Amino acid sequence: MGVVAVNPLAEARIFAPGDDAWFQLERPGWTPAFLTAPQNETLIALSDAIIPATDTPGARAALVNRFLDLVIAAEPAPVQQQFLTALAWFDTAPQERYKATFVHLTPEEKLDFLNLVAWPDTGGWRTGAANGFPGYEHFSVMKRWIAGAFYSSPIGLREQGWDGWAARGTFTGCDHQPPEWNQAS
């Protein structure tokens, strides 16, 4: 799953052969290019809560925050704004219930909060269906980006069975000429 799978409005990005952005993301002293330091901390905490390390590496090990910083920086302004609005919501909304930003919640409070926003129609957070609750919308936006980034990373790809090899075989394309495309076989 790549960036296009995360955001269908995103255009394809072409990189030179051997240009592997993950090497840049792994470098010591990395700092966000797009996000502020507090936004980056919120993204780390949120991605770590959504995809925690278990018996396999989680979002933190997959450098989800760094990858998203790189991708969001290249997105159009409306996509950037949607991302930042959803991310900011996770700093303000927990204060209503826990008197702390998401970063400063305990692991139990983070899980409780995510359960409340993921399933708001259960009655724990507010009354009403999920489709009318802004927290659910912000959670959905962030979950899509975080999951897409995780499963685009080498760690996430290995979780899906990728063995590190590029596509197998030679793909020469269709041998038919354009007029033959419309003819029945």
The whole-model pTM stands at 0.75
DSSP letters, the chain, are: --HHHH-TTSPP----TT--HHHHHTSTT---SSS-HHHHHHHHHHHHHHS--SSS--TTTTTHHHHHHHHHHTS-HHHHHHHHHHHHHHHHHHHHHHSS-GGGS-HHHHHHHHHHHHSGGGSSS-SS-GGG-HHHHHHHHHHHHHHHHHHHSHHHHHHTT--S----S------S-HHHHTS--
Q: Pick the residue with more confidence: 20 or 68? A: 68
Task: State mean pLDDT over 31-45.
Answer: 96
- Let me know: does 46 contact 90? Beta carbons within 8 Å: yes
pLDDT 10s digits, 113-162: 998 888 876 655 554 444 556 788 999 999 999 999 998 888 888 888 77
Q: Pick the residue with more confidence: 46 or 5? A: 46
Domain boundaries, the chain: 3-7+34-159
How far apart are alpha carbons 173 and 185 in whole angstroms? 18
Q: Which of 19-33, 76-90, 93-107, 115-129 has the lowest mean pLDDT?
A: 115-129
Task: State mean pLDDT over 15-31.
Answer: 76
| Candidate ranges 25-34, 95-104, 125-134, 147-156; pick with highest mean pLDDT | 95-104
**At residue 11, does pLDDT exceed 70?**
no
